[in-house]
Chain A
Amino acid sequence: MITKDTYTFKILRYDAKAPDEKPEFQLYRIKVIPGLTVLAMLIRIRDEIDGTLSFRSSCRSAVCGSCAMVINGKIDLACRTQVAFFESNTIILEPLPNMDIIKDLVVDMEPFWDMYEKVQPYLIRKTPDPGKEITQSEEERSRIDQFVNCILCASCYGACPVVSRNPEYIGPAALAKLERFILDSRDERGAGFLKTMNNEKGLWGCDTVLRCIDACPKDVRPTDAIVELRKILIKEKMKQLFDKEGR
């Protein structure tokens, strides 16, 4: 029986191992108890209706970054999206764009991680470590706050229009990570490091249309990072020009 609390989940099904079969939406009807999330419903669908449905999940509390997907046209984490939040009783679920589908809602994140690794995403120190902590003021610590919050869920990477036309573009998450280290008072990689990003695959690729900011479930603003990092490049360039003229 179809009642007010019966929802239809339209889920994109595809299996890269059966490439001849085209991606297709499959419909699942299920009763929703108020307070349940899209992830909770996906689990019920897999458990009770269709054991072949594939999707990633782990923490179910919006911290592990496993379950980013397109929910009624908008990228978000399935675990933090309340079903009751939508006006209509139909919920359409698709995998994150810009990455190949492995199966159903699971995409191949390899390119995302490759880009992440390109920015040398770790603290680089040259001075020997002190016997205690390297001190850092509260203000210095708070500068990196928003970038520290990134959960690497690839929502921004999936939303980025530049990535979709140029797969070689490094993408918002990696650049936000880079800014997290450049801004860290303890990091000693130096601005010279940005040379490798001084091109269309790197810092100049971004269209600054802010899709990444809209998509981020953790209020990170990758475009801020990109703009700040570009400023460093411009300053360097100006300094070089100025030095030449001075001579």
Chain B
Amino acid sequence: MMLHHDVLIVGGGLAGLRAAVGLSKKYDVAIVSKVHPIRSHSIAAQGGINASLANNPDGRDDTCEKHAFDTIKGSDYLADQHSVEIMCKEASEIVYEMEHWGCPFSRFPDGTIAQRPFGGGGYPRTCYSTDITGHVLLNTLYERAVSKRIKFYQEWYIVALVTDNGRCGGVIAFDLVRGKIIPIAAKTTLFATGGYGRVYFHSTNALINTGSGIGMAYKAQVPIKDMEFVQFHPTGLIGTNILMTEACRGEGGYLLNNKNERFMEKYAPKAMELAPRDIVSRSIQTEIEEGRSFEHALGKYIKLDLRHLGEKKILSKLPGIRKICIDFIGIDPIIEPIPIMPCQHYSMGGIDTNEKCETEMKGFYAAGECACVSVHGANRLGGNSLLETIVFGKLAGLAIDEYLTNNDVKADEKIVQDRKDEIEKKIIRLVSGSGEKPFILQTELAKTMSRNVGIFRKKEEIVEAINNIINIKERYRNVCVSSPSRHMNYELMNTIELEYMLEVAHTIAVGAHQREESRGSHYRRDFTKRDDTQWMKHTIARIGEGGGPVITSKEVTITQYQPMERIY
């Protein structure tokens, strides 16, 4: 059996759904998602989405140009400025559109969409719905998709992207419930597969965020970009690493060390707790390393103190955060500070695309967190990712429409069928291995990444990580899946994804090794300064003959914002 579609979208998060909604009228569109779309990780976003609506009385003169400037400065000048300008210009329209489709944003007393300040933004431009913004946006887009009768293949996961001679032919899918490999030939394929957080041990991301889409594209010869830029969020709950949204600080929360000092004073005297994430995470890590943190059975931590905001504000603005704290660590933030530590949070790098979401591979597109356009450069601002997913989901739809309108595209069934046969063999091999269990390899990988390619990096540690990854890749060849049964075999799914996680990790580590400077989230203890003459360029990784990544570079597009020092 082979399925056919004009547009095959992998990923039912915000980016994938938005693209599907735009294309559904004209084309035969289907979405494949390894979980029901509503379970996608976008659901977990808390704080908000940026747009210069200028609804906040303190931000009446906000404009999309100012939003673009903040984004570019926040990116440490690695973002492509024309792409940032497009995103910030589209922002207001996108937010209004989501509102018209039913998104229940929080409101100001005058009935307009409420906006709050977020880190690295000069203006209070983050639109929100209490602390469940991702939940309301994803529900709204899913509702819209239901109203458009979009076809979903849910609980199907993609095992491979099929490419040949610079063209994409579709994907090989695996139906988890029925345990069947299903080739899908598509005229165009869009990846909206989200981030790779689980490559790290401490991550705020969902368990399903393996980054397999990025790894698959890479293995299919698609270049990937800027993988060394990994965002660490300053405030993950200790233990479970569940995110405590930046809105906690946006609403006025403090960060305190064991001397009861608001230590951000030393690192970002003006912006304080609302400096960009890379800076706040490094500050927290420094406090921890220099012995000014607290101790808990679950690890060292810093306090996020909301108590002075008062019960009323916490209940009205951060009710979800309060519930998480009570459920997961038995602390009520109205009474006690929250124990936090920095955790991997966001993937700035990803599949290399231009501002139209096109990749080097004809017929293959990427949008959302799995893509690197790049609008976040070396550091993403809070509230810009939700924006990116919806804006570029929409733009990917427009680009696909243009391509299908102007070209007589025929799906290439043969390459898809050939690939299916290969995958069949691969799965047989996987279920007959006799080596280690997959979780052992995955845990080792994640620990290596958190330890050696984390907030602070240096050459020897990165080299050690690369060697470990190569070693784990070797052991993966004989990995042992408990059961050859194919249906509902989550272990088999995890094992297939692990192969791609290893590739993703490999490109992160090699990128971090090559880039001998410090920029945004990438901080080298042995090269502590930003070096614009040598390193103001994107890192491009392609899979090499021997399996490891081959690195080249690509120009950064500058329109009107000349690089300056980043002071907050």
Chain A positions within 8 Å of B239 at CB level: 35
Task: Give the complex CA separation of A56 and B99 in angstroms.
Answer: 31
Q: Would you call A134 an interface residue if the criterion is a C-beta within 8 Å of the partner chain's C-beta atoms? A: yes
A148 touches B136 (CB 8 A): yes
Chain B positions within 8 Å of A47 at CB level: 437, 439
Residues of A in contact (CB 8 Å), total 58
Q: Would you call B561 an interface residue if the criterion is a C-beta within 8 Å of the partner chain's C-beta atoms? A: no
A52 touches B146 (CB 8 A): no
Q: Write out, one digit per residue, whether chain A residues 5-31 have a CB within 8 A of any chain B CB (1) or not (0).
A: 000000000010100000000000000
Contact of B100 among A57, A129, A151 (CB under 8 A): A129
A51 touches B437 (CB 8 A): yes
Which residues 114-137 of A have a CB within 8 angstroms of B?
117, 120-123, 125, 129, 131-137
Chain A positions within 8 Å of B100 at CB level: 123, 125, 129, 133-134
Which residues 34-76 of B have a CB within 8 angstroms of A?
35-36, 38-41, 43-44, 53
Q: Would you call B186 an interface residue if the criterion is a C-beta within 8 Å of the partner chain's C-beta atoms? A: no
Q: Would you call A206 an interface residue if the criterion is a C-beta within 8 Å of the partner chain's C-beta atoms? A: no
Q: Would you call B106 an interface residue if the criterion is a C-beta within 8 Å of the partner chain's C-beta atoms? A: yes
Task: Give the complex CA separation of A186 and B324 in angstroms.
Answer: 31
Chain A positions within 8 Å of B297 at CB level: 34-35
Q: Would you call A152 an interface residue if the criterion is a C-beta within 8 Å of the partner chain's C-beta atoms? A: yes
CB closest chain-B residue, reference A51: B482
A58 touches B207 (CB 8 A): yes
Task: Give the complex CA separation of A104 and B489 in angstroms.
Answer: 11
- Choose, from B107-115, B469-477, B536-544, the stretch at the interface: B107-115
Task: Give the complex CA separation of A32 and B262 in angstroms.
Answer: 36
A52 touches B491 (CB 8 A): yes
Task: Give the complex CA separation of A56 and B102 in angstroms.
Answer: 29
B39 touches A132 (CB 8 A): no
Q: Would you call B125 an interface residue if the criterion is a C-beta within 8 Å of the partner chain's C-beta atoms? A: no
Task: Give the complex CA separation of A48 and B491 in angstroms.
Answer: 11
Chain A positions within 8 Å of B106 at CB level: 138, 141
Given A123-B101, A133-B99, does the pair A59, B147 have CB atoms closer than 8 Å? Answer: no
B481 touches A51 (CB 8 A): yes
Q: Would you call A64 an interface residue if the criterion is a C-beta within 8 Å of the partner chain's C-beta atoms? A: yes
Q: Would you call B360 an interface residue if the criterion is a C-beta within 8 Å of the partner chain's C-beta atoms? A: no
Task: Give the complex CA separation of A63 and B239 in angstroms.
Answer: 18
Q: Would you call B132 an interface residue if the criterion is a C-beta within 8 Å of the partner chain's C-beta atoms? A: yes
Between A and B, how many residue pairs show CB distances below 8 Å? Answer: 154
CB closest chain-A residue, reference B208: A58
A60 touches B113 (CB 8 A): no
Chain B positions within 8 Å of A207 at CB level: none
B488 touches A106 (CB 8 A): yes
Chain B positions within 8 Å of A122 at CB level: 101-102, 143-144, 146-147
Q: Would you call A197 an interface residue if the criterion is a C-beta within 8 Å of the partner chain's C-beta atoms? A: no
Task: Give the complex CA separation of A141 and B113 in angstroms.
Answer: 11
CB closest chain-A residue, reference B205: A59
Distance (Å) between the CB of A81 and the closest chain B CB? 9
B104 touches A59 (CB 8 A): no
Chain B positions within 8 Å of A50 at CB level: 482
Task: Give the complex CA separation of A59 and B328 in angstroms.
Answer: 13
Chain A positions within 8 Å of B102 at CB level: 122-123, 181, 184, 186-187
Distance (Å) between the CB of A158 and the closest chain B CB? 16
Q: Would you call B242 an interface residue if the criterion is a C-beta within 8 Å of the partner chain's C-beta atoms? A: yes
Distance (Å) between the CB of A120 and the closest chain B CB? 7
Task: Give the complex CA separation of A136 and B100 in angstroms.
Answer: 12
Chain A positions within 8 Å of B240 at CB level: 37, 60-61
Q: Would you call B298 an interface residue if the criterion is a C-beta within 8 Å of the partner chain's C-beta atoms? A: yes
A57 touches B207 (CB 8 A): yes
B111 touches A137 (CB 8 A): yes
Distance (Å) between the CB of A213 and the closest chain B CB? 17
Residue of B105, B298, B323 contacting most chain A CB atoms (<10 Å):
B323
Q: Would you call B135 an interface residue if the criterion is a C-beta within 8 Å of the partner chain's C-beta atoms? A: yes
Which residues 48-76 of A have a CB within 8 angstroms of B?
48, 50-52, 54-66
Q: Would you call A239 an interface residue if the criterion is a C-beta within 8 Å of the partner chain's C-beta atoms? A: no
New contact pairs (10) apart from A46-B491, A58-B208, A60-B206, CB-CB < 8 Å? A54-B488, A56-B39, A58-B40, A59-B207, A133-B100, A134-B100, A135-B110, A141-B107, A148-B104, A148-B129
Q: Give 6 pairs: A residue, B residue, CB < 8 Å, sorted on A.
A: A52-B491, A57-B207, A63-B44, A63-B320, A64-B206, A104-B488
Chain A contacts to B: CB under 8 angstroms? 15, 17, 34-35, 37, 43, 46-48, 50-52, 54-66, 80, 102-104, 106, 109, 113, 117, 120-123, 125, 129, 131-138, 140-141, 144, 148-149, 151-152, 181, 184, 186-187
Closest 8 pairs (CB-CB, A-B)? A51-B482, A123-B102, A135-B111, A47-B439, A122-B143, A51-B491, A103-B488, A54-B488
